[in-house]
Amino acid sequence: PPPPELSPRATDQERGDAEVAWKRSWLYVVETDAAAGGSARRVAYAKDPAAAERQDAAAPYRGRIERCLHVLPEFESTVGIRAESDATLVVQLVNRTAYFKELVAFYPLYPVNRRCVEAHGAPNWTKAENLVSNGPFRLVFRRLRDRIRLAKNDQYWDAANVHVKVIDALATKSETTALNMYLHGQLDWATYVPVSTIPKLKAEYPDHFRGGPELTTYFYRVNVTRPELRDVRVRRALGMAIDKQRICDLVTRAGEMAATSMVPPGLAGYTSPPGDPYDVEAARRLLAEAGYPGGRGLPPIEILYNDMDAHRTIAETIQQMWKQNLGVDAELRGLEWGVYLDSTHKLDYDVARAGWIADYPDPNTFLDMFMTGNDNNQTGWSNARYDTLIRQAAAEPDAARRMALFAEAEAILLAEAPVIPIYFRVSKNLVHPRVEGFFNTVQDEHPLRLIRVREREAANQAAR
């Protein structure tokens, strides 16, 4: 796309923001290809959305490659990425980025084998028989609504220390199904369990239940484009009428912490501003000021959630609280995961269940998604001052000042209430004691290469 045209009166900040937006309108994917002893190669694919629409089926990457030839001469000065050696990729940042090391370890930046993609095209390059990966396991097959099977990758650089030969990740219809399979010895590890069973599981299976704090916020999005939800007083009233501590104590029951902020505690140097507390009287006043005394005249609020037992139970609890505390009726709509995502993306909802796990340990991961135009905003909310603060924080070299900018931005988010924080999540895994190498992490991510199953290892050795 052409460079932006700006008014002569534009400020330096406006010019800088426009330049960044223009450069980001191209998608650059930089790949390091060291497979089969090859050298690290710098390959830039610049994706023009319009050109992508015109690509023919036989050559799905032709448009990108043609565009690439035009932008490669400016690539180094624009993007700042180069291959310094066969195994070293150097990235020059525009601003100091405190979380950069964690960011490059995040899975969207995993390397992709160029020859595999070009040979098979999308989406065939992701099929088990075609996929080339560089991790400790390789994909054997993926059966929809059944399982994903992984096998040890003997080409992995540290294969000698990978002890599990085969891993089956099963798709289950519900947490109850997964729990029953676990209790009957069909699973070694269950990542979800029914919330109603947690106290009993913790009491009867203390050496199986593995839980710990996460950098995860469970919250509700509010669609501010809905006529009845445009008024911030209505949105705040809905949030203040939810007894979040009661949800943690009587519903989730795994040690969650009631939330009044979007950013969870535990991030070094950052303290969230205070959000609205649980205050029924204040909520009633706000609702009356908005023209809905006792909830009269306010249409029923629909709560959208992806169809899991835990989300339904929380939605039912909030439905009861809104009715009891505000006189507001709520209707529940549970959808299959894909349909739910489509509905929230299209703003086809009133209030929608959501959750966010930190991509990296920094406030930015919880706040930048609510900037104007961000694909993860999905509330219809926009605030120019908020956008400016997040951009300033991204460019701020001083750590304390940067955190202060984030706190000011989060205060705006909480005051305007396009989101209702509910609680800060804890992990809830059932892991059989024979499984070793599992440990709690704040992102509930568990490197499979560290896992070993003692009894099975002994059985395998005896069979030899």
Domain boundaries along the sequence of the chain? 12-120, 137-211+427-463, 213-426
In this prediction, residues 436-464 reach a mean pLDDT of 78
In this prediction, residues 13-24 reach a mean pLDDT of 59
213-426 has the same fold as 137-211+427-463:
no
The architecture (CATH level 2) of 213-426 comes to Roll (3.10)
- Asked if residue 34 has pLDDT above 70, the reply is no
- Asked if residue 251 has pLDDT above 90, the reply is yes
Least confident of 2-16, 90-104, 332-346, 393-407: 2-16
The separation between CA 139 and the C-alpha centre of its own chain, rounded to angstroms, equals: 23
Q: What percent of the chain has pLDDT over 90?
A: 67
Give 419's pLDDT tier (boundaries 50, 70, 90): very high
Give 77's pLDDT tier (boundaries 50, 70, 90): low
Q: In the structure encoding, which two tokens stand for residue 437, read together? A: 């190498």
Instruction: Kindly report the number of other CB atoms within 10 A of residue 172's CB atom.
Output: 18
Q: In the structure encoding, which two tokens stand for residue 451, read together? A: 């896992």
Give 4's pLDDT tier (boundaries 50, 70, 90): low
- Asked if residue 441 has pLDDT above 50, the reply is yes
Least confident of 35-44, 76-85, 133-142, 194-203: 35-44
Specify whether domain 137-211+427-463 bears CATH 3.30.479.30. no
In this prediction, residues 12-35 reach a mean pLDDT of 48
Which residue type does 273 have? Answer: P
* Exposure b/e, 369-407, CB count within 10 A at least 16 = b: bbbeeeeebbbebbbeebbebbbbbbebeeeeebbebbb
Give 289's pLDDT tier (boundaries 50, 70, 90): very high
- Asked if residue 243 has pLDDT above 50, the reply is yes
CA nearest 304: which of 258, 261, 354, 376? 354
- Asked if residue 379 has pLDDT above 60, the reply is yes
Least confident of 190-194, 229-233, 367-371: 190-194
When comparing pLDDT for 157 and 81, which is higher?
A: 157
In this prediction, residues 197-222 reach a mean pLDDT of 95
In this prediction, residues 167-195 reach a mean pLDDT of 93
Q: What is the pTM of this model?
A: 0.76
- Asked if residue 149 has pLDDT above 70, the reply is yes
pLDDT for the residue 109 = 86
Give CA separation, 211 vs 26, 129, 162, in Å.
41, 37, 25
When comparing pLDDT for 166 and 122, which is higher?
A: 166
- Asked if residue 14 has pLDDT above 70, the reply is no
- Asked if residue 36 has pLDDT above 50, the reply is no
pLDDT for the residue 192 = 84
CA nearest 255: which of 313, 292, 214? 214
What sign does the dihedral 198-203-206-208 (CA atoms) show? Answer: negative
Least confident of 59-73, 116-130, 321-335: 59-73
- Asked if residue 117 has pLDDT above 60, the reply is yes
When comparing pLDDT for 455 and 53, which is higher?
A: 455
When comparing pLDDT for 205 and 99, which is higher?
A: 205
When comparing pLDDT for 222 and 63, which is higher?
A: 222
In whole angstroms, give the CA distance from residue 192 to residue 200: 15
